[in-house]
Amino acid sequence: MQRFLGTERPVKDKYPDSVVNSCAAFDNLADDSPYKSYDEYLCTANKVFPDVEWVRLKIQRFDRPDTHPALTKPFHKYAEVYCIDIEQTDPATDPASQPPQYVTAALPPVTSPKQVERLLQDVDLPATKMRVIIFHHARYFDHELLTNIVHFYDVNPRFIRDHFSQSSKESFPRKDPLLGTFYEKYPKYLPSESSFSPIQLKIPHPKTTPKRTTLIIPNTKLGLKTVLVFVWQVEEQFHMSTINRDLMYPTQRVPRDRMASIKQPQNIMETCLFRLASLTSDELEACISHPILIAHSFIRNYFLKMSNTIDQLDTDVDMYGVMTTNDKNDTWSRSRDRLPFLAFQALNSALSSSVQSIRDHFSAPWVDCNGPHTDVVNFAVEQITKDAQRVQDMMAEVRTKISEFSTYKASQESIREARKSVAQAEGVTHLTRLALVYIPLTYATSLFGINIKEWQDDNVPSGKWFLLASVLCTLFTIGVAVGMVKYRQLKGLTMGFTAWVALAGISLTFNPFKGSDWKKYWHKLRGKRF
């Protein structure tokens, strides 16, 4: 209570009950967990911390039945727990180790809850100075493996949510006496929270949840500094030998009998174990004070995979351009979620958040500025920074290429639309020219059929008068229209609908010939000679 509110313990009525009770609860932490299981703890904590409700509801869903209830298709269930101990040799039992040397001791991976429980409690003290627990899993697994680990090390449920959540934009309900029930968001961790927040390396996946690698330093258990690593199984899209090309390379100096027995690591986990086993004694001693060196192998593998993914994306952009839709007429044969532009967005978001998480944790407790072997950790931090900068530069090049492709595509669309406009304008021009000829003829034809009954009743003379009149009207219309167009061109005026204006004038001229007035004009024409 004093560390929150001063040296003098306050009276209860001076502060709200929420402040007094919270300070008292966190001042008197128990040495061990009073809960029998992690599920019991979540049910109790859910009443105080509503954001752990997601973990309580979802943790049971990790353990799915072996068969789909509708399709009878077996689920891919996989989970293994690895344990690596950094031990210090005893000079009394090993006089040759002067000064004391540090070595790694690994156990075979375990897959059952009882084996995990026995593995966590079996520690060789005081020789073991540090322990690394790695939980390698698929989407579905036996949830007891996870609960045994997080219950033993008292892992914050929010870290589990950060690792398994579907999206960082998920919200959780919260009840307020004034606002009622509303939904709160999960904000991202700030650099000032790096002392307790996890390191998260996110790899985007086109169809399911983004795969994450989460590294946590939990509470000290059994007097050991421990690093917990949760690794979501990722489909390997490149040869594992390229990851270890700095340690494993073809050379003729390898003896013939050993060359036949060499086997490349088959997945990310074996690769990380291989790199930890390759560390020297000084580097292992530095890992105890600087756990960022444990994370270095995972970070390096992450940057290599992201580099390979960016190269593939660059090739796809060169081959297919920037495609944002999956049209049936397009040559893109992949799914909609793997189109270049959408893939770039997911990849850029994952890389940015991962690099931020890595840079935020170049401080305690991951790096001890006053610990031994600071030169080793400084070199590792420099390598991580350079690798991150190189991958970001590759992503910037792809971003520039996508921008250029987008600009090129927009210009192509503009040119295509301009050509369509020109073609439409030419079509209107041809239509206008045809209209100048056929509209007067159509008008004269309709004029001929207006009073056909009257023509049949009277003695209609030869049709030469009608043909002559229609031809004269047509020639007059064309002449007026052409003359108006030429006149406006000479004056530099805008080309308007001059032909339509001329035709309108001719139509007004012929208006008197409609209806019953036709006989009067017809008799006038009969009395004249041509």
The pLDDT, as a whole number, for residue 51 is 78
The pLDDT, as a whole number, for residue 181 is 55
* C-alpha–C-alpha distance, residues 369 and 128, integer Å: 23
Of 392, 413, 434, which residue is a domain's last?
413
Q: Indicate if 153 and 209 belong to the same structural domain.
A: yes
Of 363, 387, 413, which residue is a domain's last?
413
Q: Indicate if 379 and 270 belong to the same structural domain.
A: yes
Alpha helices in 449-463 (DSSP H): 452-457
Strands of 199-203's sheet in order across: 102-110, 79-88, 128-137, 225-232, 211-216, 199-203
Radius of gyration of the chain, Cα coordinates, nearest whole angstrom: 42
Residue 20 domain-assigned (yes or no) = no
Q: Indicate if 512 and 398 belong to the same structural domain.
A: no
* C-alpha–C-alpha distance, residues 120 and 133, integer Å: 9
Q: Indicate if 169 and 316 belong to the same structural domain.
A: yes
Of 413, 441, 459, which residue is a domain's last?
413
CB 513 within 8 A of CB 521: yes
Q: Indicate if 371 and 513 belong to the same structural domain.
A: no
CB 152 within 8 A of CB 131: no
The pLDDT, as a whole number, for residue 76 is 61
The pLDDT, as a whole number, for residue 420 is 87
Number of domains in the chain: 2
Residue 13 domain-assigned (yes or no) = no
Q: Indicate if 395 and 466 belong to the same structural domain.
A: no
CA angle 192, 195, 200 (to 5 degrees): 90
Q: Indicate if 391 and 500 belong to the same structural domain.
A: no
Q: What is the pLDDT along the chain (530 residues), one digit of tens a residue?
A: 444 444 455 555 577 877 877 787 777 787 788 888 888 898 888 888 877 888 887 776 766 555 445 444 455 678 999 999 999 987 666 656 577 889 999 888 999 999 999 999 998 888 899 999 999 998 888 888 999 999 999 999 989 988 987 555 555 555 555 555 555 667 888 999 999 999 999 988 766 667 888 999 988 888 889 999 999 887 655 566 677 888 888 888 888 888 888 888 877 888 888 899 899 999 999 999 999 999 999 999 999 989 988 998 888 888 877 765 544 444 444 444 457 777 888 899 899 999 999 999 999 899 998 888 999 999 999 999 999 999 999 999 999 988 888 888 888 889 989 988 888 887 777 677 667 666 766 666 666 655 555 555 555 555 555 666 666 766 776 777 677 667 766 776 554 444 555 554 554 444 444 444 445 555 554 554 43
Q: Indicate if 147 and 242 belong to the same structural domain.
A: yes
Torsion of CA 155, 157, 160, 161, to 10 degrees: -160
Residue 439 domain-assigned (yes or no) = no
Task: Quote the tokens at residue 322.
Answer: 């920037």
Query: Half-sphere exposure of residue 266, counting CA atoms within 13 Å on the CB side?
Result: 1
What residues have CB less than 8 Å from 215, skipping those under 6 apart?
Answer: 198, 199, 227, 228, 229, 294, 295, 298
What residues have CB less than 8 Å from 314, skipping those under 6 apart?
Answer: 394, 397, 398, 401
The pLDDT, as a whole number, for residue 395 is 94
**Which residue range forms the structural domain that includes residue 240?**
31-248+263-413
Q: Indicate if 461 and 352 belong to the same structural domain.
A: no
Alpha helices in 449-517 (DSSP H): 452-457, 464-491, 498-509
